[in-house]
Chains A and B, each alone.
Chain A
Amino acid sequence: MSVKTTFDYESDWVEYFESVLKNEIREDIDNRYKIKANIIETNQSLDSFLKRNETIKRIASKEPFFHNLRIKLDGNEYFFYLNNSDPRFWVIHNIEEQSKIQKIIEKLTTESYLQDKIYLSHETMNGYQNELKATSSGFTLNFDQLFSSVDGPSVFTEEIEEFDDIGFTLQLWPKKKKSINYFIDQFRKIKMPINYRSLNFIFEDETQDVLIKEDLFYDGSLTIHRGKEFRIHLKFINKIRQKYKSVMNEVEERRTDWVNMKGSIFTIEFDKTIDPQKFIEVLNKKSISNSPNPFKINAFFMYSEDAFTMYNCIDTHSGGKFYLQVFPDKLNINLEKNSCGNIIFRLFTNLQRYFSISTKLKVDETEYKI
């Protein structure tokens, strides 16, 4: 069941989605149609976005920051509901069939100019669990080594651990948060690359009645399994959005700006040794394993010193300019004043997911959590 309707007011839409959640409308629960949301990082106005995406039609509501969006794809129409109260971080909600709309979401976030996903690290997702006192019944771990499957000599100049050279997705549903922690600890002991692809969040009332049970994915998407308080879901999204925004502001405050004598070097350290040139070849690929390259950057050689090679780079998401010093065991990133801070989140979390779990982010040599 998809919703082919539009709303004048956000509160009407909230009420409607809550009734869907409580199963007041549907006779049978159809798992294909779950309530979903995506947090999108954007560097343009909604008007400019709509001009660039002619298949998306806005059906105005009577509120400034709530919009009905009708999207046509393969002869079908899909409805999305957009909240852009934060001009930088939009939230798009839908209750369409996941398999059908995946292409649209990818187009909006991966292939669309000036739109990007948000990138949540394993630690950040874990942090939400603890801060929000949510319980959990399961998680999905995911790791893919994208840097060992290149043509010719390997990116790595020394043998890497067996676990670091494999790809896996592992879903565990141990039902209890305590058990989740146990599994994570055990996996760490055997040096398994631990990265949440998704983490289940259960928000309960004082009687342990489930208000919302949902999965948060590392790319800022959320899927509700069941519940009865839709506003708890919205509050959770807001929490993620606010925190991401606050860290993003800190990152962007550290871009190089010589007019105001500001600027820092972001360093991503890792426990592997690499050939800078081969490493950059992977970052520069348009697609990897038939999927768009998640790094979304292009780097061009500038010069090489004994210790590192310097590259002049463009963020293909925004066209922003930055410089990358590639050392055998770390990267230095120097962001230009007008570049997008999401470069740091994207590079760091994707290197954790596709290169090495041991990556550490430092700013001016101090460890920095994102």
Chain B
Amino acid sequence: MKLNTKFKSKMKRMPVSEETKLLNLIVNILKNENLLKKAIIEYKIDLKNGSTINPDFFAYLIRESVFNNYLLSEFKQRTVTGTDDINRIKSQYNGYCNIDYNNLDSTIIPIDQTAPIFINYIFFNTQISLIKKIENEINLQENVGVLYYETSGSNKRRLRYSKTPSNPQNQFLNDLLIEKSSIIRFWENYLIPFTAKDLEGISGSGGSPSAVNIDTNVSVSIILSHLCTFILQRKIQNISPEFNSEIFFDFIFSNLIGLTKFDDESKKSIIKKLTLFLNQVDQLCNDEKFTFINKRNKTSREYLITIRNTDNFAKRIEIIRDKLYDLFKQKKIDEFV
């Protein structure tokens, strides 16, 4: 039989964000320990002083009569940091320290005023000297834990302490994360296949959402895969070929309901990006003269699935997906502006 000897060289790495990997690690470990009651990614909390914070991971952990607390995790990566950056982190940290139970929404996460909130930082791909500098300059309290890991080198994907928290329960939590981070399956079992963070490749220069950053093309690939499954599902389930960006948004994030609570602003921002993406697909289809999806009219966010109803519908979608991906790759950022 013919063996596939070119396997390794053929594999092109197109990784998902480090934040998604870290979330999978933490969720896997906490679930495995039966500690996780509820978790929210990027939970937007409005504070008393009118400011808003959104920690990367906020969870309510409970184990009968032994364990009862909230875990707030902030993920950070830095190569350099200046005064402005330190001030931003400091302000964010002060916000975390000032969370009042009344600021929490009981429809999103259970409220237990007896459960302390443990704040912890996890740094990745950041030099230890820089982590220490940040710790000192923002003056972290004794009870805050700081962990770090590298994605390459001998420390690869193994959490370590930069700062040990003083509270025994928080230390237990951090010890647990460190110990279990050596088990590869906790890194590799993706209960969360992607997050909104992984779609940030669709972003504009200077914060404008009107450009597609194809350099981080994992975003394009993830959205394209969703567009394909979206079209196929509608075909199989005999759902109308007409759709809009909001419906597409709901489809993409259906797996994250309960784990992500998008506020109106961030939902609007993602829908805007998806609209931009769908418009680009429409444009590419027009340029290349093949049918896939079409925009209903210039101003609307309404689209129509126009793919030919061939005998092998799924195969046709796959071919178009590959074609579109190649076309996206050939585009330069400024062509999308």
Contact = CB atoms under 8 A, between A and B. Distances in A.
Binding partners A and B: yes
Contacts of B312: 286
Contact of B233 (A304, A305, A319): A319
B32 A364 contact: yes
Given A156-B4, A165-B1, A265 B13 contact: no
A208 interface: no
A258 B229 contact: no
B4 A319 contact: no
A156 B1 contact: yes
B193 A334 contact: yes
A13 to B, nearest CB: 34
Interface residues of A, number: 58
A338 B189 CA distance: 20
A286 B225 contact: no
B255 A284 contact: no
Interface string A279-323: 000001010000000000010111111111111111010110101
B13 A306 contact: yes
Contact of A301 (B2, B13, B225): B225
B190 A323 contact: yes
Given A148-B1, A321-B254, A153 B14 contact: no
B299 to A, nearest CB: 30
Given A156-B4, A261-B38, A319-B237, A307 B188 contact: yes
B11 interface: yes
Interface string B232-265: 1100110000000000000000111111000000
B104 interface: no
B191 A334 contact: yes
B39 interface: yes
Interface centre among B14, B311, B321 (most CB of A within 10 A): B14
B12 interface: yes
Q: How large is the interface on B (under 10, 10 to 19, 20 to 34, 35 or more residues)?
A: 35 or more
Interface in B4-30: 4-7, 10-16
Contact of B256 (A158, A159, A258): A258
A367 B37 CA distance: 25
Given A278-B4, A312-B229, A303 B314 contact: no
A264 B189 CA distance: 9
Nearest to A364: B32
Interface string A145-173: 00010001111111110000100000000
Nearest to B37: A261
B304 interface: no
Contact of B314 (A263, A284, A336, A337): A284
Contacts of A113: 236
A305 B18 CA distance: 11
Nearest to A285: B315
A277 B10 CA distance: 10
Nearest to A287: B312
A279 to B, nearest CB: 10
Contacts of A306: 13
Contacts of A286: 311-312, 314-315
A304 B228 contact: no
A301 B194 CA distance: 13
A303 B1 contact: no
Contacts of B233: 314, 319, 321
B211 interface: no
Contacts of B105: none
A115 interface: no
A12 B116 CA distance: 68
B236 A314 contact: yes
Interface in A253-268: 256-261, 263-265, 267
Contacts of B179: none
Contact of B3 (A157, A313, A318): A157
A365 interface: yes
Q: Top 9 nearest A-B pairs by Cβ distance?
A: A258-B258, A259-B258, A153-B4, A258-B259, A312-B225, A319-B236, A300-B225, A319-B237, A298-B314
24 contacts: A148-B1, A154-B2, A154-B3, A156-B1, A159-B1, A258-B257, A259-B257, A260-B258, A265-B191, A275-B7, A277-B10, A284-B314, A286-B315, A298-B232, A298-B317, A300-B318, A303-B194, A303-B218, A303-B221, A304-B14, A305-B15, A323-B190, A338-B254, A365-B185
Given A258-B257, A312-B222, 8 more contacts: A258-B255, A286-B314, A302-B222, A312-B193, A313-B229, A323-B193, A325-B188, A364-B32
